[in-house]
Amino acid sequence: MKLVKVCGMREAANILEIEQAGADWMGFIFYPESPRFVHEVPDYLPRKSKRAGVFVNASKEKICETVSLFELDLVQLHGNESPGFCENIRRSGVKVIKSFRVGDEFKEEEVEPYHGKCDYFLFDTQTSLYGGSGEKFNWETLSNYRGNTPFLLSGGITLGDAEALKAFSHPKCIGVDINSRFEIAPSRKDVQKVKHFISNLKT
């Protein structure tokens, strides 16, 4: 597990610092209800880190317009998007991550129709809200995931979880998605915390 995605970025200076801290991917949230909503193009966008746009039940037109404006590499779909919709977005030339909420048990039947329609999955903690809860789920439930689509682990991951993440093993887990537990304020990340986490995870 080597890939680290830092989500909920917005401020130019912070984006640059987090890129320099070693983030592989950076997430920008285009969901107006989120406190991390990105309403304009920042003065700096990452050049080395891949850019992921997070959407919730947005139209294809809106997604494609934003992909073009922000030169996104990946689109992360966090709503009730169908497998066909995911495939449609993917055909437009961008990689697609589909997010799923995991509760007390992993439900293979929910993700099965999305195989072959998405490039990656993201497994987050079950919540009634769209987006993260800042809480963890039991990662061991993912032992029931036997699909071929690679995934990222999300949900309340903290600086102190690096060792447990290194111990967690699943052949399809390619990395982690971090956000609220590394913040000073919504969208502003604590650079030292992120740097230490990446360093701990990758050594």
Handedness of CA 201, 203, 98, 14 (dihedral sign): positive
Integer Cα distance of 180 and 133 in angstroms:
9
Residues in the chain: 203
| CB of 53 closer than 8 Å to CB of 70 | yes
| CB of 3 closer than 8 Å to CB of 177 | no
Catalytic residue among 86, 118, 124, 190: 124
Catalytic residue among 7, 86, 118, 173: 7
Active site residue 124: yes
- What's the Cα-to-Cα distance from 97 to each of 42, 139, 151, rounded to whole Å? 23, 19, 8
Integer Cα distance of 18 and 25 in angstroms:
10
User: For residue 138, which phi and psi values (nearest 5 degrees)?
Assistant: -75, 105
| 3-class DSSP state of 68 | helix
Neighbours of 146 (CB within 10 A): 11
Catalytic residues: 7, 124
